[in-house]
Amino acid sequence: MDCSNTVGILLAVAGLMYLQDRGSFSALAMPVMALGVPLADTSVAIARRFIRGVSPIAADRGHLHHRLLDIGYSPRAAVLFLHALSFCFAALAVVSLFVSGIASILVGAFFLAVVVGFVGRMTRDKGIE
């Protein structure tokens, strides 16, 4: 079993165990937040292709890692950036377990706004659409 399968299984089990204990929405949201970077990147790619009238499974260079490479990040720096971003989302998922539902949503929304603003500014500064 490779690392991604192990991480996926651990996230699924953690969400189910927490759901059994608390029965709350945050138990289901925790794995989604922990996988926030790939889920957001995929969602944005599908929406972008749909808006352009292209097949949602068509390849393009609009993914976050391509944008990072296009603005001058080295492949290593792009990977480290994405890992750091994923770590932040995972940390947010863990924090959400210890705060109330509405506070968790507010913290998540603030964090997402900061990340979107940062990535938007990086790409805008380099003239990437």
pTM flag (> 0.85): no
20 Cβ contact list (under 8 Å, min separation 6): none
Rounded Cα distance between 92 and 87, Å, is 8
Check residue 121 and give its pLDDT.
64
Q: What is the pLDDT of residues 29-77, one digit of tens each?
A: 667 777 778 888 888 888 888 888 888 888 888 888 888 888 888 899 8
Measured CA angle at 20 (ends 17, 26), to 5 deg: 80
Check residue 128 and give its pLDDT.
46
Q: What share of the chain is helix, strand, coil (3-state, %, to 5)?
A: 80, 0, 20
Query: Is the pLDDT assigned to residue 97 strictly greater than 60?
Result: yes
Structure tokens at 114: 């900061």
